[in-house]
Amino acid sequence: MISGGIAGEHERIDTPQLFSDEMAAALRTAHAWGRKVTAHAGPAAVIAEAVELGLDCVEHGYQLTPEVAELMARHGTALVPTLLVTRCKEFFDELGVPGWMQCRSLGAGPRHLESYAMALDAGVEVLLGSDMPPFWAFEGTNATVRELEFMSDGGLGPAGALHAGTLGPVRWLGADADLGTVEAGKYADLIAMDADPLEATSAFRGVRWVMKAGRVVRDDRSGWERP
């Protein structure tokens, strides 16, 4: 966490959390171990400093600028926008989140969406992450699917959203030798749905069949019985 956020009562989104030498040490150490680093970060200035030091991914990016978005694109720094976290009043009400936090979160929503558009315009790679429990029932689906819908509607489109939730993160994590495509020798992690996700991201609301590592763990087709 290199900046403040929406959940700290006594901090602002633009409150720095680490000094430059601390960020640099964390990044050098992780990279020396062959690991990537992602950081909770909201404001442009803090993000720019971390990107220059080698940050691999930004979580949230509530207050980007076109210049910082272009910097991220040049350095290959990805963005997990978590659009859901600034437009989820139903979730906050369900959890009894205090009014000050709801105000800060939901109030950041318009600027958050503008930042996301700046990232897309600059060619920043965006990846899926909801900042809510991914399985959480929300607005007629779950948090993961709703986040994908927001990402798609915000300018990414259905094909881009599909990539952001599948092959994009796989490649960012360096796991494409085992995941991401349907090939012999890779893990058989597959889903099936009623509609085409390349036509509309809402197709993910109709997932009916799931295979994990070659084993069917969900099958909602009528007449099917688990052995």
Cα separation, 100 vs 22, whole angstroms: 30
Is pLDDT above 70 for 223?
no
The confidence band for 167, taking pLDDT boundaries of 50, 70 and 90, is very high
* Residue 52, amino acid: E
| 69-79 average pLDDT score | 98
Beta strands in 76-157 (DSSP E): 78-80, 137-138, 141-142
pLDDT score recorded for residue 45: 94
Is pLDDT above 80 for 25?
yes
Q: Classify 3 as helix, strand or coil.
A: strand
Is pLDDT above 90 for 76?
yes
Token pair in block for residue 53:
């030091």
Cα separation, 118 vs 137, whole angstroms: 29
Token pair in block for residue 204:
């993910």
Task: Output the CA–CA distances (angstroms, integers) from residue 39 to 17, 54, 79, 163, in the order listed.
Answer: 11, 11, 10, 21
Cα separation, 69 vs 91, whole angstroms: 29
The residues spanned by each domain of the chain are 20-126
pLDDT score recorded for residue 141: 96
User: In percent, how much of the chain has pLDDT > 90?
Assistant: 89
The confidence band for 226, taking pLDDT boundaries of 50, 70 and 90, is low
| 15-23 average pLDDT score | 92
Is pLDDT above 70 for 213?
yes
* Residue 191, amino acid: I
Cα separation, 186 vs 60, whole angstroms: 31
The confidence band for 6, taking pLDDT boundaries of 50, 70 and 90, is confident
Is pLDDT above 70 for 173?
yes
pLDDT score recorded for residue 225: 59
Burial of 124 (0-12, 13-18, 19+ CB in 10 A): buried
pLDDT score recorded for residue 79: 98
pLDDT (tens digit per residue) in 108-148: 999 999 999 999 999 999 999 988 999 999 999 999 999 99
pLDDT score recorded for residue 224: 55
Nearest to 192, CA basis, from 161, 152, 220: 220
* Least confident stretch, 36-50, 187-201, 210-224: 210-224
Beta strands 207-212; 190-193: pairing state: antiparallel
The confidence band for 7, taking pLDDT boundaries of 50, 70 and 90, is confident
Nearest to 159, CA basis, from 201, 204, 202: 201
Cα separation, 61 vs 79, whole angstroms: 7
